[in-house]
Chains A and B, each alone.
Chain A
Amino acid sequence: MVGDSSRQDVTGLLRRWKEGDGRALEELMPIVYGELRRLAAHYLQIERSGHTLQPTALVHEAYLRLVDQKNVAWQNRAHFFGIAAQMMRRILVDHARRRAAQKRDAAAYRLDLEDPGRPADREPELLAVHEALTELERLDARQARIVELRFFGGLSVEETAEAAGVSTATVKREWRTARAWLRRELDTAGPNARA
């Protein structure tokens, strides 16, 4: 199966890290990258008409293929998705802030073979969404969490429900309400707030 040897590598380096090798975690990235490329190649083979790869889906799948459930701290798959969404938000927002400070454009996250540059346009709105979401956290923590999982984590409705511990009907309802609220907030803030 694809990823078996990589999984052993990951298990080994996590063991090394636990034994005190501080640099072992850096080696995760080349392994994840290798797995991601293999997955992308696989999807290109089986989805000839689709042409579109969603890196969020790919990275989730790469993680699930690589991880040895006995050797990680996640309580379950939903736990990983939930934490990953938070971390992703932090990384993306920090990066967008640095970019804004430098008055330069931010990098893309999604990957589209037909138009790989398109998603870069998504970045300027990222800081505005983050700020509005911080406000929403004060008003309705559950809605804010659902937006974080969907927007920053790239999770489906079902995955969001699992990660947030609610039903899919609740996710759909809260997502709809939160999106309407965010849209109003972003419209009020205006284009200058999105730079």
Chain B
Amino acid sequence: MKWSKTSHETSLAWVRALRAAALLLNREVCRHVLACRADLPAAQRLRLERVCRCAWEEASSLYSPEIWERFEIDEVEIQRRATGLARLRMAGRLAEARQAEQEALRRSLSAA
């Protein structure tokens, strides 16, 4: 299998893009879970926060800084949505809460 410099560079660019995008998606889901689940044990919260931070740091290391301005998470919007969802959990309606959280995430991801 013969590889030109062009093939190698485009291959690397694709894998880098896919890796960074997977990390960003992971971070976004973690932020969503953290916001929705006020009842998470402290150890798990810490772990999710660490995942968010590590995902962001690794993704950042893969590209130059300018590109990252487009990827800030809207924390205010996440918190606004999460408040409504948390009420369901506090009322003990866990199955309904899980479904609502998932639907909220789906809508959030759909809104590109």
* Interface residue ranges, A against B (CB under 8 Å): 14, 17-18, 25-26, 28-38, 40-41, 44-45, 48, 51, 53, 55-56, 58-59, 62-63, 72-75, 79-80, 83-84, 87-88, 91, 95, 98-99, 104-111, 113, 115-117, 120
Q: Which chain A residues border B6 with CB–CB below 8 Å?
A: 18, 73
A contact face: mostly helix, strand, loop, or mixed: helix
Q: Which chain A residues border B54 with CB–CB below 8 Å?
A: 99, 104-108, 120
Q: Which chain A residues border B107 with CB–CB below 8 Å?
A: 41
Closest to A112 in B: B29
Closest to A120 in B: B51
Per the 8 Å Cβ criterion, residues 48-100 of B in contact with A are 48, 50-51, 54-55, 57-58, 61-64, 67, 70-71, 99
Q: Which chain A residues border B7 with CB–CB below 8 Å?
A: 73
Pick from B17, B50, B71, B112: contact of A105, CB below 8 A. Answer: B50
Pick from B4, B12, B21, B57: contact of A62, CB below 8 A. Answer: B21
Closest to B31 in A: A116
Number of B residues, CB within 8 Å of A: 51
Q: Which chain B residues border A84 with CB–CB below 8 Å?
A: 11, 14-15, 18
Contacts A25-B9, A36-B25, A44-B106: A117 and B44 contacting too (C-beta < 8 A)? yes
Assembly CA distance A88 to B21 (angstroms) = 13
Assembly CA distance A28 to B33 (angstroms) = 27
Q: Which chain B residues border A59 with CB–CB below 8 Å?
A: 18-19, 21-22
- 21 pairs, CB–CB < 8 Å, chain A vs chain B: A14-B10, A25-B9, A25-B13, A28-B17, A29-B67, A32-B18, A37-B25, A41-B106, A44-B102, A44-B103, A45-B106, A55-B26, A58-B22, A63-B14, A73-B7, A84-B11, A87-B15, A108-B55, A110-B26, A111-B22, A120-B50
Assembly CA distance A99 to B23 (angstroms) = 16
User: Are A116 and B48 in contact (CB-based, < 8 A)?
Assistant: yes
User: Are A36 and B12 in contact (CB-based, < 8 A)?
Assistant: no
Assembly CA distance A58 to B19 (angstroms) = 11
User: Are B105 and A91 in contact (CB-based, < 8 A)?
Assistant: no
User: Are A88 and B15 in contact (CB-based, < 8 A)?
Assistant: yes
B42 within 8 A of A: no
